[in-house]
Structures are given as structure tokens and as C-alpha cells.
Amino acid sequence: MDSPAALAAENTRLTAAIGQLKFRDPALARRLAETIGRVTAEIGRSPVSVMHVCGSHEQAIARFGLRATFPKDLNVIMGPGCPVCITDMPEVDEGVALARQGLVVASYGDMLKVPGTRRSLADAQAEGARVEVVYSAAQAVELARRLPREQVVFFATGFETTAVATAAVLIADPPENFSVLSAHKYIPPVMEIVAEMPETRVEGFLAAGHAATITGWGIFEGFVERHGIPVVVAGFEPLDILAGLARLVELVRDRTPRIVNMFPRCVTKRGNLRAQEQLWRVFRPLGGRWRGIAHVPNGNLRLREEWAHRDARRRFPIDLTLLWDEEPAALAQECICGDIMSGIASPSDCSLFGKECVPDTPVGACMVSSEGTCKIWHQYGGLPDLRGAL
Amino acid sequence: MCLGVPGRVISVREGFALVDFWGVSREVCLDIVDEPVAPGDYILNHVGFAIRRIPPEDIGETLALYETLLAESPNGDLMAADVRGEIAGTGDRDG
């Protein structure tokens, strides 16, 4: 990278990439991309790996082709930022079992195709079980009101941003026949796990703007102190992401682990206290497995004791033995979703990607959700081919 | 999905706001948002709940991404589809 010829080539590459990609402010995009390139070179190690933990960040990076502007020595990895993808098979199995036991199970649309050990919710639906797609927790409550003779279980997935909505509908006193099967996950604890994975060697985190809207950026202070890894909170506009990455590589270069909020138009230090109060009134963090990753201490959000009368796990017997007596699907054993979500592998490293595993017939959870790395790469391509522009 | 969608408040009634999202109006719950919300304000909606009142000076910057996505995305574009799903409240997206 240091020779004049290499610098000129890099310059040509960047000019082509910025010209091809549509930015609101191409001059600013170019300055930011140049900063990222220069600072990454100054770090002098290869690769420099940074991680974001948000499906919407990966969508924006892929959709706007931002990887074409990154220097080759910078590895921007998507971590466990897809709530559907990290919902563990036994959690899906619980939803499937309840549906097969004759209860009405309501869930967000993307959950239906997520594979359980043997069946997905869509499979259970095809076999006659009652599975309903809802857009919000409030719609699941409406469903319970419309079906007073049925038991309606809201299979609640998503990170803290979405868990707040589940908490709010419980606090608003839903009808007696409404319960929650919580598979909600809490992001900060999994960052601790991934930061310690020796294979990943993450040197900085890009934190998701809208989740931090709820929790506030102050929540990352302890993490930065414990791990000596910088965190930058970034928005979702292509320029927001480039600006966030530029600041992040500067913090890596300067060995100044701290938290920087690059998304002040949405995120404050304290976050939304009213939302936090409701979240923690209803949920408590509990350790549990995230699909393909690890046991994450405090990574699951479960209903508190006071909400036992709303907790599907405590209200109804859930019999999983029938599901677990059958062998899991053979192809699923080859799936490397876990390695992809830990940042150890890319979708293109998977033998199933784009062959046996495609959006219509997904093998792994990462191909199911619009926020899964595999589905995003399958639609947009991980690294856009700009050779024609050079 | 952690990408909320901004909209303009038309009216407010008993804990709910009627919100306009690029011509589509829907009710959004105000139980979570931590500031009073009035007609004319912009809020950030996530799965039917307002999670933030957007400060007036930040509205233009906030809308820019969505304007781009809605104006320039072909059918089937994942990110635009998620935004459209959130606007329509169809449930065709995840949590």
C-alpha cells in the first residue's frame, strides 16, 4: 500500500467505487472512505477486524455497496445482530409444540420459516396447527380479544428494542387468554462473549443506533472498560456508517478504547428511561444459548416471577420429547450459521450457500430473515463487483 | 429488526397517535416514548410503538435515508421491503 503505484491504484479503485455507489454527498463519502483507508493503513496490521451487531447495518452496507469502498485490510463483520437468526432451535420447538397442542401461536412473520429441531412454525401450520403472523405485540393482544375461547401465545422474539413493546402490552393488562413465550435477547451480554472469542479478534464494535435509542450509549461504558475495545454508536444512512467506521478505526489506531456516539440525533447517554423502566419491570436477564454461538450469560430476557400468570412456559405443559425423538434434518448439520454470526466465517465459506440453502428453502436461520447475513448477501452480494467501473 | 421508521403525528388520543408515514396513516402506541408528543411532531416508530420523539432540527437528516430507499429501490429490495412492511404494518418482517 505504501508504494506510489499502490497508492495510485487504491485511489483509482476508490474513485470508481464512490462514482458507482449513490451517496447523498459524494464528496463527503470520498473523504470518509479515504480516512478509513489511511487510518487502517496506519494501524499497520492485517486484517483489522471490526464488528457490527445489527441486521439493518448489514443491509445498508450491502445495499449501498459500502464494502467496495473499504480497504482490503479492514474486515467489517456482521456479528449476532439478527434476532431471528439467534433464536435457538429449542425455543422454536417450544412454539411448535404449543401450536401442535392446540393453542394459537402468534409471531412476527420472519419467525415462521426458522428451523426448529425437526419443524418450523410454518411446518406446524401446514400440518393444521394455528399459527398467526402479527406485525406487533399489540396485534397479538387484539387476536386474543377476538378469540376469547382460545389460548393465544405470543412467541416474542427480538432484541431489547422489541422486548420493550412486549413489556408494554403486558403492563397494559391484556385479556386473560393472552400469554407470552419469550425468546427475547439482550445484546450487551453477547458482545462480551464475542469480544473474548480468540478466533474473531474483534478490535472495535459499531453499535446499532436504534437499539441504543432505548438503552442509551452509557450502557457500553462498562464493556469498553472491561475489554479495552472501542465502541462507536452509528446510524443507518450510508454516510452515518462510513463516519462511524472512520471514527472506530481512529480509536483502534490510537489505542484509545472509549465509547463515541456518532448518532446523537437518535441516541442519548441515558436512553429512553420510560422504556427501560417497563422493560425491566417485566423481564429479567437469564443465561441461555444463542443459536450457533454459545451459552450467553444474561443473554436471554425472560418474564419475571410477578408475570408467571402471563408466561406460556409456566402456564402450559410444553412437551418437546415428541419433537426430539426424530433426527434433525441432515443438511442442517452442515450449516455454519454459528460461525458466520460469530464473525469466524462468511456466507461464501458455506458449502450450502446459494445451492441447497436459498431464501425460498432456507437450511439455516441466517437465510430466513431479511436481517440474516446469508439472505442479505444472497440478495445484494457481499462485495459488489465493480470491475466494470475500473 | 432494529431499523425504526419515522412518521409525522397527525393527531393524539388516549395514549395513541395517528401517524402519517409517506401517505399511509396508522395508529402508533405512545406508552414507551419518553416525551410528550403533539400533532406536527415526528416520532420514530418500531413495531407499532413510538420509541423516540425526533428533535425538530434532526428531522431532515433522519428522513433522508428513507426517502432514498422508498424512491430508488426495485421490488424485492430487502431493506426497502422491511421499511415498507413497517410502514404498512403488515407483519411481513421480524422482531
Inform me whether the pLDDT recorded for B93 exceeds 60: no
Give A136→chain B minimum CA distance, Å: 5
Give A32→chain B minimum CA distance, Å: 18
Q: What is the pLDDT of residues A370-380, one digit of tens each?
A: 889 999 999 88
Q: Cβ distance A106 to A154 under 8 Å?
A: yes
* pLDDT value of position A328: 64
Is residue A261 within a helix (H) or strand (E), and if so which, with residue range? strand A259-261
Question: Rounded distance, CA A107 to CA A98, Å?
Answer: 13
Mean pLDDT, range A8-24, rounded to an integer: 78
Q: Cβ distance A101 to A71 under 8 Å?
A: no
Choose among B48, B62, B90: nearest Cβ to A138: B48
Which of 279-298 (A) contact B at CB < 8 A? none
Judged by CB atoms closer than 8 Å, whether chains meet at A274 and B95 is answered as no
Judge whether A358 is closer than 8 Å to chain B, CB to CB. no
Question: Rounded distance, CA A157 to CA A120, Å?
Answer: 15
Judged by CB atoms closer than 8 Å, whether chains meet at A24 and B81 is answered as no
Give A354→chain B minimum CA distance, Å: 17
Q: How confident is the model at residue B92 (pLDDT cuts 50, 70, 90)?
A: very low
Q: Which residue has the cell 408515514?
A: B21
Judged by CB atoms closer than 8 Å, whether chains meet at A274 and B44 is answered as no
Q: Among A165, A220, A298, which residue's Cα sits nearest to residue A53?
A: A220
Judge whether A161 is closer than 8 Å to chain B, CB to CB. yes
**Angle, CA of A24, B26 and B22, to the nearest 5°:** 25
Give A139→chain B minimum CA distance, Å: 9
Per-residue cell: A144: 386474543
* pLDDT value of position A100: 94
Boundaries of every domain in chain B: 5-88
Q: Which CATH number fits domain B5-88: 2.30.30.140, 2.60.120.620, 3.90.870.10, 3.40.50.300?
A: 2.30.30.140
Paired strand residues for A75: A49
Residues 6+ apart with CB under 8 A from A20: A65, A68, A384, A386, A389
Name the residue in chain B with its Cα closest to that of A369: B94
Inform me whether the pLDDT recorded for B52 exceeds 80: yes
Mean pLDDT for all residues in chain A = 90
Q: Which residues of B touch A168 (CB under 8 A)?
A: 29, 31-32, 49
Give chain B's length: 95
Judged by CB atoms closer than 8 Å, whether chains meet at B79 and A214 is answered as no
Q: Higher model confidence: residue A326 or residue A49? A: A49
Which of 1-30 (B) contact A at CB < 8 A? 1-4, 29
Q: Give the phi and the psi of residue B55 in degrees, each rounded to 5.
A: -60, 140
Name the residue in chain A with its Cα closest to that of B47: A136
Mean pLDDT, range A283-287, rounded to an integer: 97
Q: What is the pLDDT of residues A138-173, one digit of tens each?
A: 999 999 999 999 999 999 999 999 999 999 999 999
Q: Give the phi and the psi of residue A82 in degrees, each rounded to 5.
A: -110, 110
* pLDDT value of position A9: 84
Judge whether A63 is closer than 8 Å to chain B, CB to CB. yes
SS3 A161: helix
Judged by CB atoms closer than 8 Å, whether chains meet at A56 and B3 is answered as yes
Question: Rounded distance, CA A315 to CA A322, Å?
Answer: 20
- Determine what percent of chain A is predicted with pLDDT higher than 90: 63
Work out how many CB contacts closer than 8 A connect A with B: 158
Residue intervals of chain A classified under CATH 3.40.50.11740 are 20-330
Q: How confident is the model at residue A2 (pLDDT cuts 50, 70, 90)?
A: low
Inform me whether the pLDDT recorded for A206 exceeds 70: yes
Estimate the crossing angle of helix A373-380 against helix A55-63, to 10 degrees: 10
Q: Which CATH number fits domain A20-330: 3.40.50.11740, 3.40.50.620, 3.40.50.2000, 2.70.70.10?
A: 3.40.50.11740
Per-residue cell: A36: 478509513
Judged by CB atoms closer than 8 Å, whether chains meet at A172 and B31 is answered as yes
Judged by CB atoms closer than 8 Å, whether chains meet at B51 and A161 is answered as yes
SS3 A367: helix
Inform me whether the pLDDT recorded for A385 exceeds 60: no
Inform me whether the pLDDT recorded for A208 exceeds 90: no
Distances A156 to A88, A289, A347, A358, B75 between C-alpha atoms, Å: 13, 16, 27, 25, 29
Distances A4 to A1, A9, A11, A18, A74 between C-alpha atoms, Å: 8, 9, 10, 21, 20
Name the residue in chain B with its Cα closest to that of A279: B32
Judged by CB atoms closer than 8 Å, whether chains meet at A265 and B1 is answered as no
Give A3→chain B minimum CA distance, Å: 38
* pLDDT value of position B94: 39
